[in-house]
Homo-oligomer: A and B are copies of this chain.
Amino acid sequence: MSDPRILTVRPEPGEFAWTFGGAPPVARIAPGTVLDLYTEDCFAGRVRSEQDLVSRVCEFPFLNPQTGPFHVEGAEPGDTLAVHFVSVEPARDRAASTTVPLFGALTSTHATASLHEPLPEVVWMWQLDRARRTCLFSARDSDTEIELPMDPMHGTVGVAPANLEVRSALVPDAHGGNMDTPEMRAGVTCFLGVNVEGALLSLGDGHARQGEGETCGVAVECAMNTVVIVELLKGVATPWPRLESDTHIISTGSARPLEDAFRIAQLGLVDWLHRDFGLSRLDAYQLVTQASESPLANVCDANYTCVAKLRREWLPPGSAHRGVHGQLRETAGALGSPGKR
């Protein structure tokens, strides 16, 4: 692979997108371009202390700022974008989480409506130690402190949706978006089906780490310096976002109720085994039943997200997405260590 072009984008306030679809592209890029990006946190950087309650300092609907969108030259409906995460590195030493009134899994919400008053709004500031790669939890109601490993990821990555729609950056669906899966970390390639000319890729919502399910609705939210390589697979359709890591193939589904997200993700894995690895659909159903890992991604957003993972070492012979994950892995290696720059 020849020397890739590198495009650096560090948006100023006012230069972010708040939707998938509906926002003009910030740049046109050729397939193979390396994007060296700054992403702001989901609060648009406004939660800086325990006093900064979201309901006071944030301005709805200007949440979850997206860096992009990028128009990928030649991308057309029916193609697939491959977004390889070379590095995802926190851009600050602090990160924030919070409860948000009527949002989260263990509270009444606007949809799971009830007569309860909202839970209290509380902010937790997390200290990041980027050298030691840890995040420090400091309890609000006691002196407890707990150090957790940093595991940086992007909650949100997606393209313009189909069906003429424009969706809030807070929504995950078939176009990707706010899937909030911890699998979206450095070393992974994310595959997104293209719905409109140019695809209109954007990403944001960095998390220093996140539990599976994102129970309270808000992870350890953090601005990020992120490097991705964007490739284009012509003539390959991807109905729901997929990921590949060095160890797993991973399908996703986003829907409500949660069992529908599970069904979509698992059927995605069955169909993947059928098309790329030669198993009949029923044989694939059996293999997935016994071999899949099924960690939850989010159970708090407008749609809930499940992933379905299968170890590469357990796959029949075959190749996914024309082997592009392995190629991008190599290209990334040749870049040096861009994430550490």
Contacts and interface: CB of A to CB of B under 8 A. Distances in A.
Interface string A312-333: 0010100000000000000000
Contacts of A285: 99, 106, 115, 215-216
A106 B166 contact: no
A282 B100 CA distance: 12
A1 interface: no
Nearest to A138: B283
A105 B114 CA distance: 8
B116 A116 contact: yes
How many copies of this chain does the complex contain? Answer: 4
A105 B112 CA distance: 9
Given A142-B280, A267-B106, A316-B144, A164 B18 contact: yes
Nearest to A284: B139
Interface in A274-312: 278-283, 285-296, 299, 304, 306, 308
Interface residues of A, number: 90
Contacts of A27: none
A27 to B, nearest CB: 21
B168 A280 contact: no
Contact of A290 (B114, B139, B219, B292): B219
A21 B146 CA distance: 43
A102 to B, nearest CB: 11
Interface stretch (A37-45, A68-76, A184-192, A257-265): A257-265
Given A116-B108, A258-B259, A282-B122, A212 B295 contact: yes
13 contacts: A97-B289, A106-B267, A115-B119, A135-B290, A139-B287, A142-B283, A165-B166, A165-B167, A165-B168, A211-B291, A211-B292, A215-B292, A257-B257
Interface of A: 18-19, 21-22, 60-61, 97, 99, 105-108, 110-117, 119-120, 122, 124, 135, 137, 139-142, 144, 146, 148, 162-168, 170, 209-220, 253, 255-260, 262-264, 266-267, 270, 278-283, 285-296, 299, 304, 306, 308, 314, 316
Given A113-B264, A211-B293, A212-B295, 14 more contacts: A106-B263, A106-B267, A108-B116, A139-B283, A144-B278, A211-B288, A211-B292, A217-B289, A218-B289, A219-B290, A256-B256, A256-B260, A257-B258, A295-B296
